[in-house]
Amino acid sequence: MERRVLVLGATSRVGGHFVDHPPKGWTVESAGRTDPRAQGHAVASHTPLDLSQEEAVRSYLRGTTAKAWVNFAARTDVDGCESERPSSPEEAGSSAVAGSAWRINAELPRWIAEEAERAGRFLVHLSTDYVFDGLRGPYPEATPPSPFSDKVGWYGYTKGVGEAAVFSSKGPRTIVRIAHPYGSRAAGRTDLALTLLSKRKEGRVYPLYRDQRITPTWVPDVSDALGPILERGASRIYHVASPEVTTPYEFARTLFAAAGLRTDDLTLTELSGQAKVPGRAPRPVRGGLLVTEIHKLDIRPRSFREGIRELVGPAPVGG
């Protein structure tokens, strides 16, 4: 029997990989402004939908027969989101203040969760390690999002509000947190690894932090995890990220070495010593995700070293 999964955000870096590699026995339908088929993604059907419009979203969700819903949709431009930051979170819902980050990252998940609860649909919502302030990471799954502060960027705060709305709903729902996803091939999208490789080949590698803790997510691991999650339908929080903590410097050095590129001219710096730049979102210093719960589904996310090997391929001869 065919089972249909609704995907919101099907042209995102992570969503695009999932719709191209759906779990066995599942058929994908999507909704959003951009038709993923125009970018080469194979979905069974697509409905044009402005995800920032509450009534349109609720009306569509009340008509879909998809058995499960997966929300990849998000405003992920971290510094762009910061330009919308209000002076207090209480101002965020004001029609005069609310920006796209609040609508898509905070309000959309609530609308979806309320409709999923009403319809009895299983909801999977994608979140991020940026919901944390980066003071005590890497963080275990049970850690709640950090409160509003100058340590949490507006992107991270809005994602935390959306995550909390989903998890507080009474319907079956799962939160999947990821961190610094790489290994995507979505048209017009870039990621941590692709950005570093592009800058390296152009001779413009920027200073790399040696004190920032990160646990990069290999994008195919997310698709691999979603199959068992959809089958299980459990209300949990899962982390899909590298079980090995690294730094931007170590990640870049490992990536360049695997690709046969120079590593002897990389400039080191420390994030903790950086002065706040106006308009730039704060980055978590002690960030990252601990990975334990997903192991109960027999899913073992790749370490960043394993992901880099898969991304780059066999090491060059003499490299």
Q: Read off the pLDDT of residues 50-103 as tens digits, 9 standing for 90 and up.
A: 999 999 999 999 999 999 999 999 999 999 999 999 988 888 776 556 689 999
For residues 241 and 218, the answer to whether their CB atoms sit within 8 Å is no
- Residue 218's nearest CA partner among 132, 138, 164, 299 is 299
Q: What average pLDDT does the chain have?
A: 93
For residues 67 and 29, the answer to whether their CB atoms sit within 8 Å is no
Is residue 319 in a domain?
no
Is residue 317 in a domain?
no
CATH number of the domain encompassing residue 108: 3.40.50.720
Q: How confident is the model at residue 186 (pLDDT cuts 50, 70, 90)?
A: low
**Number of compact structural domains in the chain:** 1
Q: How many helices (H) and strands (E) does the chain have?
A: 10, 9
Residue 219: pLDDT over 90:
yes
Is residue 318 in a domain?
no
For residues 36 and 46, the answer to whether their CB atoms sit within 8 Å is yes
What residues contact residue 312 under an 8 Å CB cut-off, 6+ apart?
255, 258, 259
Provide the pLDDT for residue 146: 97
| Whole-number Å distance between alpha carbons of 250 and 248 | 6
Q: Read off the pLDDT of residues 250-303 as tens digits, 9 standing for 90 and up.
A: 999 999 999 999 999 999 999 988 878 888 999 999 999 999 999 999 999 999
Whole-structure pTM value: 0.95
Domain span holding position 54: 3-312
Q: Read off the pLDDT of residues 13-62 as tens digits, 9 standing for 90 and up.
A: 999 999 999 999 999 999 999 999 999 998 999 999 999 999 999 999 99
Is residue 106 in a domain?
yes
Amino acid at 10: A
Residue 216: pLDDT over 50:
yes
